[in-house]
Amino acid sequence: MESCVVDKKPMIEQLIEKELRPFVKKIDAEAFYAEGFLKKLGEAGLFSSTNKTEKEILLDEMYVVKETAKVCMTTAFCLWCHLAALTYIRNTDNVEMKTRLLSAFENGEVLGATGLSNPMKYYAGLEKLNLSARPTEGGYIVNGVLASVSNLGENHWFGLIAGVSENKRIMAVVPCKLDGLKLKEKVDYLGINGSSTYACSFNDVFIPKEWVLSENADLFVEKIRPAFIAYQIPLGLGVTQSSIMAIEKVCQKQNGCNQFLRTQSNELQAEEQHIQEEILTLFNSESLDWKEVADIRLKTAYLTLKAVQTNMLHNGSAGYLKDSAPSRKLREAYFFANLTPTVKHLEKVLTV
């Protein structure tokens, strides 16, 4: 998972050490949102798509997500939210929106969010679509509720899909400040409370046509879905890699008693390496098949759960402390398993 970004590794490491690591406990315990770190990544050019192929963009940005997740998956999740929104802007045929937002999204001036948890479940037959859109002069009137949208803030934009009729759905991006749009912060999660997550209620919200990314959301989702899922894979790999390192640090604990535990770091390393090889094989193919991406995402979710549980067992009572790194990673991993597409969502689409 290392493409053109190799020469920027020192910069990435420096940003993580200076702008993120000092705030990890505050993020976990006090729901601190590391907005500054996300903006610094953009300012450093780490979201730039200039002179890159689509696969180079994906690999480079997946690497940044992975390195971030090693230290704080909550913030890496916020980064995924931004990259998902950036994917929408990169792929739209709406030249006006691309001109207005692409540069701002890539340089960190404006941050984005996905808003597609409910729609992705809708397309998998798990939920009904929660937003409706009524055509009006110059755009649409939108009503409904999105239960959870993360990485939101005063100057942020987020994606949405709303049903116009039985056979038509639109996709748009909207700013957080809109007449009729009410945001209610959610900080009652087991983990990831520093993700700036809100319930979004739309009450006759006017969305001008200039903000519509596609008048055919069904086709647009097919276009952006591979990247949407691919950017999630390094969330799990980062947590897995940091768990492996943590396991190895305590290998001599209690006179080396950890050697008798059934799962050891070498087993986790082998499974993680296999996933890395599958990613490279996938990216060497002509195009990204979204179900192949989903399969890797599912394997990563199960490996991450295995890695954090193993990390807890190897650390023993030290890991059971509320503010310990192993317990934080455990909570992050369970969130990752329930991030759309969830494990059960993935199991369904890969089976049916």
Q: Residues 236, 300: contact at Cβ < 8 Å?
A: yes
- Indicate whether 300 belongs to any domain: yes
How far is Cα 16 from Cα 20, in angstroms, rounded to an integer? Answer: 5
Q: Which residues are CB-contacts of 293 (< 8 A; sequence separation ≥ 6)?
A: 226, 229, 230, 233, 282
Checking if the pLDDT of 5 tops 80, the result is no
In a domain, 226, yes or no: no
Helix (H, G, I), strand (E, B) or coil at 181: strand
Is 223 among the domain residues?
no
Q: How far apart are CA 213 and CA 193, in angstroms?
A: 30
The predicted pLDDT at position 294 comes to 97
Query: Is the pLDDT reported for residue 3 higher than 60?
Result: no
What's the CATH number where 149 sits?
Answer: 2.40.110.10
- The reply to whether 243 and 322 lie within a common domain is yes
- Whole-number percent of the chain with pLDDT over 70: 98
Instruction: Estimate to the nearest angstrom the gap between the alpha carbon of 278 and the chain centroid.
Output: 20
Mean pLDDT over the full length of the chain? 95
pLDDT in tens, 59-106: 999 999 999 999 999 999 999 999 999 999 999 999 999 999 999 999
274 neighbors 281 (Cβ within 8 angstroms): no
Closest by CA position to 197, among listed 78, 283, 83: 78
CATH of the domain at 28: 1.10.540.10
Q: Assign residue 215 a region: left if phi > 0, alpha if psi is -120 to 50, beta otherwise? A: alpha
Domain final residue, candidates 111, 142, 165 = 111
* pLDDT for the residue numbered 323: 87
Between the two ends of the chain, the Cα-to-Cα distance in Å is 30
**Residue after which a domain boundary falls, among 217, 240, 269:** 217
Q: What is the pLDDT of residue 6?
A: 62
One domain for residues 90 and 167: no
- The pLDDT tens digits for 155-168 are 999 999 999 999 99
Specify whether 261 is located in the same domain as 342: yes
Which of 63, 86, 111 marks a domain boundary?
A: 111
Q: Do 179 and 97 fall within a single domain?
A: no
Q: For residues 308-334, give the mean pLDDT.
A: 94
In-domain check, residue 32: yes
Q: 62 in a domain, yes or no? A: yes
Domain count, the chain: 3
Which residues span the domain enclosing 277?
A: 232-351
User: 222 in a domain, yes or no?
Assistant: no
Per-residue confidence at 2, pLDDT binned at 50, 70, 90?
Answer: low
Task: Render pLDDT for 200-210 as a digit per residue (tens, 0 to 9).
Answer: 999 999 999 99
In a domain, 225, yes or no: no
Q: Is the pLDDT of residue 311 over 80?
A: yes
Same domain, 49 and 152: no
Q: Are residues 237 and 291 in the same domain?
A: yes
Q: Is residue 180 part of a domain?
A: yes
Check whether residue 126 and residue 205 sit in a common domain.
yes
- pLDDT exceeds cutoff 60 at 4: no
